[in-house]
């Protein structure tokens, strides 16, 4: 398990990843899938 503030770095290394918001899993997938997810990009990577 890795808990990391740098989402891009963590997702680029992860085989499987989960996005938590207020203690609930809101997204799950491979690191690559989450890096490509528009919602993850906007909320956590600063890309609109």
pLDDT given at position 38:
93
pLDDT given at position 15:
94
Distances (CA, A) of 34 to 23, 47: 18, 13
Q: What is the DSSP letter of 3?
A: -
Give residue-wise pLDDT tens across range 14-38: 999 999 899 999 999 999 999 999 9
What residues does each domain of the chain span?
A: 7-44
**Partners of 48 in the beta sheet?**
none
E strand or H helix that includes residue 33: helix 31-36
Which is more confident, 43 or 31?
31
Predicted confidence (pLDDT) at residue 48 exceeds the cutoff of 80: no
């Amino acid at each position: 398990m890795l808990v990391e503030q740098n989402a891009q770095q963590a997702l680029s290394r992860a085989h499987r990843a989960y996005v938590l918001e207020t203690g609930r899993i809101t997204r799950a997938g491979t690191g690559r899938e989450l890096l490509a997810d528009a919602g993850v990009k906007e909320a956590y990577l600063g890309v609109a």
